[in-house]
Amino acid sequence: MSVVLPPSLVTFSCHQPITQKHSSLSILKSFSAPDHASLRKNDLKNATNSGCKSLIRASGATISSVTVEKDVTDGTLFVIRAKDKRGFLDVIARVLKGVKIEKPTIQFDEEEDCFVIKFLVTDLNGNRIEDEESLIKIENALTEAIDGGVVLMKPGFVAGKSKTDRMFELMDGFLKNDPDSLQKDILHHVEYTVARSRFSFDDFEAYQALSLSVRDRLIERWHDTQQYFKKKDPKRLYFLSLEFLMGNVINLGIRDQCAEALSQLGFEYEVLAEQEGDAALGNGGLARLSACQMDSLATLDYPAWGYGLRYQYGLFRQIILDGFQHEQPDYWLNFGNPWEIERVHVSYPVKFYGTVKEDTVNGKKCKVWIPGETVEAVAYDNPIPGYGTRNTINLRLWAAKPSDGYDIESYNTGDYINAIVNRQKAETISNVLYPDDRTYQGKELRLKQQYFFVSASLQDIVRRFKDVHGNFDDFPDKVALQLNDTHPSISIAELMRVLLDEEHLSWKKSWHILKQVFSFTTHTVLPEALEKVPIDLFQNVLPRHLQIIYEINFAFMEELKRKIGQDYVRLSRMSIVEEGAVKNIRVANLSIVCSHTVNGVSRAHYELLKTRVFKDFYELWPEKFQYKTNGVTQRRWIVVSNPSLCALISKWLGTESWIRDIDILTRLREHASNSDLQKEWMMVKKINKQRLAEYIETMSGVKVSLDAMFDVQVKRIHEYKRQLLNILGVIHRYDCIKNMEKTEREKVVPRVCIIGGKAPPGYEIAKKIIKLCHAVAETINNDDDVGDLLKLVFIPDYNVSVAELVIPGSDLSQHISTAGHEASGTGSMKFLMNGCLLLATADGSTNEIIEEIGEENMFIFGAKINEIPALREKDSSNNAPLQFVRVVRMVRDGYFGFKDYFKLLCDTVENGKDFYLLGSDFASYLEAQFHGDACWQNGMLGNT
């Protein structure tokens, strides 16, 4: 009788069952540990051919062997020889998942003085496994399990059993993913964690119990992954970012089982999913990029950790009252976060202020920082699973808590009020994403927030390194630190301080280590937008770090003088310290000087870095600069946000492999002209538009036609992203419709124009743009002459969950930033994935998208990057087309009300102040819109 084995307790096996469609590659993945290139290449290179012996070290005590014999009628025969037979069959059952094991036997070989365990292995269809790579993987999996000390016994735990064996007995395998097992776990959490009766609990409590049940399964994988990394000791990647916008967990592959389990309990999976609020851990594209980065690192089996801040309130919740934006704290943690794990025992002191003194350690002079304030950083872990792998990495977020010293001192003196104030002051550090830095207090809080984040992260990283290594010479071989933009750049000075002041390494050795571990990704396109920190602020908050930065800069300037001579203008531009009326630290310059790689986020961005943003540095170190175009994961932006399209794609491709390898999507081109595919595709689009239309009506009261083109621009509100250009285009369309005869209106393509995004609290022009959108919408949506031919809708508090409704339901998406101002732009990729066409300028990653899909499949308009400087010199607003002058005049004259309020907004695009070239690009923009209308009428855009 064949046995279908349970998941491995030791290896990292694929969660997907092996079906007849799966290749031998899928089979071997079922047995593989995380396939890190640096670890597995040597395994495959050194592995013996099938039929030869592979040595196994079992806890260093005895030597066993695994032999494979393929020439067997009923399957592939595995023979294991070991000094001790106890626990072997359990190990085999745990390791070999997704195959059949038949005819196991155990005999004792007196001649070799060992036990011989034999068993046959086939796939689930009864076929022999013959390819060499799969067999090697199986051998390696068994080797890993036995080598981990699972087999041989150590006396002294329970009746002579080892602690490891006892733990395995108590665990009794992985948690099962069938509906019955999930139901039991859900009800267990309802009763014992949520503390509700299993006979009476609501949707939110069911959501909490389901999340905790899924988290339990994540924790199993997380523990296995960390144990594997600890044993293999690979070089680890640490991704440092102040923003993350993580999504739901989909990579476990158990959504259908969860849905069935809930259905039998009387709940709907989709209803419970709506109970989950978005984690307020980021702002926009940067945060979603970081989330996709973590997903991909886990899926590709990298030994990676993410580090960030656990914001209490995040950015802000956008409230629209009478068309005006108001900000409210986003209390996203009020009802808890079931996905996170608080690590109260993982905390580190973070210091601020104080003085620096000299001391002598081992006969050498060193600096000692005596802080004036100490705050505790407490860790909260969020497991991040990979897709198609058991690899589960970690996102560790830090929350600020008061140091015990403050409270004890205050309580001892009876100053309870001061204790409370200190507590509130400490917790403020991790309260809000990007504190308003228009004041000194705001700048100070932002600097403290950045340092708090990197100090805690580096203490954790160094601690983990020292657990295994006693020599910092190995640090560059085991640690890679990726700085996501300039926010974590203070980690450079912090690591130098740790090496110099705490580990007491020499400056030369510390500097040698430092230059090998940091890589820097910048998202900035304008030199004037690069982050700077006033020196007096730095001196006050981080006095020791300022000294270190001065020393780094002095060494860099001396090196630079030897290379370029006494060019003081260039030396001044490249210096980390900016001289002037207000002296500043240029943190981007610090990052470039101390990193081995500087990364742009698109090819266009890379060219801007070379020629404008970091021109001097590129000429000095061209080998440092590279680019990796930003991307997004299809697992989040198709599988989760558009399940109907996901099913359609899998059906026509005949595989779900594209969920892991997106290049497989190119095979859809073979079916592009198939009328059945087109009909099914449009049915999916119609369903998604229906969902979006229902949301719009619920949210705004505006009923929109599904026969209209859904024209969408959703992103952070900013002048360079040119939402104002979009609104002026809507006004032009409205003006044209109003002046048409009735017969002409019958030819008009109906549009639903959707705009969404948040304006930074202190950004007055951005807030005026939001108000203008509402004022124009109020006029258009209530005009009976226009009816369904044109609607304008603003979506408030745009976030990831709303994006999952908007993006799949869109027909046309606008990405219309002034060329040269968008570093990359991942939003366009999400819309494209969902079958939405783009109306865009040739900016950021759009240029590479053009190369992939062809300009004929996009609506490109506007000036190119190289044309922008000349246009600004010509004062484009004075040469704007008449259509542009007319629509701006309508706003200025109060056609949509609020005449005085919009005056400043109109001034930004007239009278020689049109910096973002709305007037210059307006005619081209209208032409691209006309082209979109024509394609829609011809059935080429989505209305077939």
Distance between CA atoms of residues 323 and 770, nearest Å:
7
Q: Are 575 and 588 in contact (CB under 8 A)?
A: no
**Choosing from 100, 715, 751, 767, which is the catalytic residue?**
715
Distance between CA atoms of residues 644 and 662, nearest Å:
17
Q: How far is residue 252 CA from its own chain's centroid?
A: 17
**Choosing from 826, 841, 846, 908, which is the catalytic residue?**
826
Closest listed residue to residue 821, CA positions, set 711, 680, 741, 722? 722
Distance between CA atoms of residues 590 and 486, nearest Å:
9
Dmax (CA) of the chain = 103
- In this structure, the number of other CB atoms found within 10 A of the CB of residue 327 comes to 14
Surface-to-core class of residue 427, CB atoms within 10 Å of its CB (0-12 exposed, 13-18 middle, 19+ buried): middle
| 410 Rama class: left (phi>0) / alpha (psi -120 to 50) / beta | alpha
Distance between CA atoms of residues 634 and 610, nearest Å:
31
716 is catalytic: yes
Q: Are 458 and 495 in contact (CB under 8 A)?
A: yes
Strand-pairing partners, residue 754, are 712, 793
| 552 Rama class: left (phi>0) / alpha (psi -120 to 50) / beta | alpha
Distance between CA atoms of residues 766 and 386, nearest Å:
38
CB within 8 Å of 595: residues ≥ 6 apart: 483, 492, 515, 518, 519, 520, 624
Chain length of the chain: 944
**Choosing from 36, 221, 605, 721, which is the catalytic residue?**
721
523 is catalytic: yes
Tokens 């505006």, located at residue: 702
Distance between CA atoms of residues 532 and 535, nearest Å:
9
Q: Are 432 and 309 in contact (CB under 8 A)?
A: no
Strand-pairing partners, residue 150, are none
What are the angstrom distances between the C-alpha of 756 and each of 325, 447, 692, 793, 812?
A: 12, 30, 13, 8, 14
CA torsion sign, 784 to 785 to 791 to 796? negative
CB within 8 Å of 467: residues ≥ 6 apart: none
Query: One-letter amino acid identity for 3?
Result: V
Q: DSSP state, 639? A: I
Q: Where are the alpha helices (DSSP H) in 739-763?
A: 742-745
Distance between CA atoms of residues 826 and 844, nearest Å:
9
Distance between CA atoms of residues 449 and 458, nearest Å:
14
**Choosing from 830, 841, 846, 908, which is the catalytic residue?**
830
**Choosing from 716, 718, 732, 771, which is the catalytic residue?**
716
What are the angstrom distances between the C-alpha of 427 and each of 159, 418, 420, 681?
A: 50, 14, 11, 50
The shares of helix, strand and coil residues in the chain, as percent rounded to the nearest 5, are: 50, 20, 35
721 is catalytic: yes
Distance between CA atoms of residues 425 and 245, nearest Å:
26
CB within 8 Å of 32: residues ≥ 6 apart: 11, 12, 13, 40, 137, 140, 141
Report how far apart the first and last C-alpha atoms of the chain are (Å, whole number).
Answer: 55
Q: DSSP state, 783? A: -
826 is catalytic: yes
**Choosing from 390, 443, 523, 545, which is the catalytic residue?**
523
Tell me the CB-side half-sphere exposure of residue 715, using CA atoms within 13 A: 24
What is the helix (H) or strand (E) element at residue 753, kind and residue range? strand 751-756
Strand-pairing partners, residue 97, are none
Distance between CA atoms of residues 140 and 120, nearest Å:
17
Residues carrying an active site annotation: 523, 715-716, 721, 826, 830
